[in-house]
Structure 1
Amino acid sequence: MTPAINSAKRAGIVFQLHEYQHDAAAPSYGQEAAEKLGVAVEQVFKTLVVKLDGKQLAVGIVPVSCQLGLKQIAKAAGAKKAAMAEPPEVERTTGYVLGGVSPLGQKKRLPTYIDASAQGFSTLYVSAGRRGLEIELSPNDLATLSQGCFAVLAT
Structure 2
Amino acid sequence: MGKEVKTNAMRILDRHKVAYEILNYECDEFIDGLHTAELTGAPVEQTYKTLVMQGKSKAYYVFVVQIAEEVDLKAAARAAGEKSVEMIHVKDITKITGYVRGGCSPLGMKKQFPTILDKSMEQFDKIYISGGRIGTSMALSPADLAAVTGAAYADITAK
TM interval, short-chain normalised: over 0.9
Q: How many residues align?
A: 153
CA contact (8 A) 1:48 1:61 kept: yes
Question: AA paired with 1:8?
Answer: L
Residue ranges of structure 1 left out of the alignment (5+ in a row) = none
What displacement does 1:80 show? 0.7
**Which stretch of the first structure deviates more once superposed, 33-42 or 104-113?**
33-42
Question: AA paired with 1:16?
Answer: E
Residues 37-90 of structure 1 deviation map (CA, whole Å, 9 limit, x = unaligned): 222211110000001115111000000010111111100011111110122332
CA contact (8 A) 1:54 1:82 kept: no
Residue 108 (str. 1) matches residue 111 (str. 2) = yes
Runs of at least 4 residues of structure 1 off by over 3 A? Answer: 23-26
CA contact (8 A) 2:29 2:134 kept: no
Residue 57 and residue 25 in structure 1: after superposition, are their counterparts in 2 closer, same or farther (change >3 A)? Answer: closer
Aligned to 1:150: 153
Alpha-carbon separation, structure 1, partners of 2:154 and 2:30: 32
Question: AA paired with 1:14?
Answer: A
Alpha-carbon separation, structure 1, partners of 2:157 and 2:133: 23
**Equivalent runs, 1:58-137 vs 2, <5 Å:** 58-137=61-140
Alpha-carbon separation, structure 2, partners of 1:94 and 1:25: 16
Aligned to 2:34: 31
What displacement does 1:109 show? 1.0
Question: AA paired with 1:70?
Answer: L
TM-align CA RMSD: 1.3
- TM-score where L is the length of structure 1: 0.94
Residue 141 (str. 1) matches residue 144 (str. 2) = yes
- TM-score where L is the length of structure 2: 0.91
The correspondence for 1:10, drawn from 2, 5, 15, is 15
Residue ranges of structure 2 left out of the alignment (5+ in a row) = 1-5
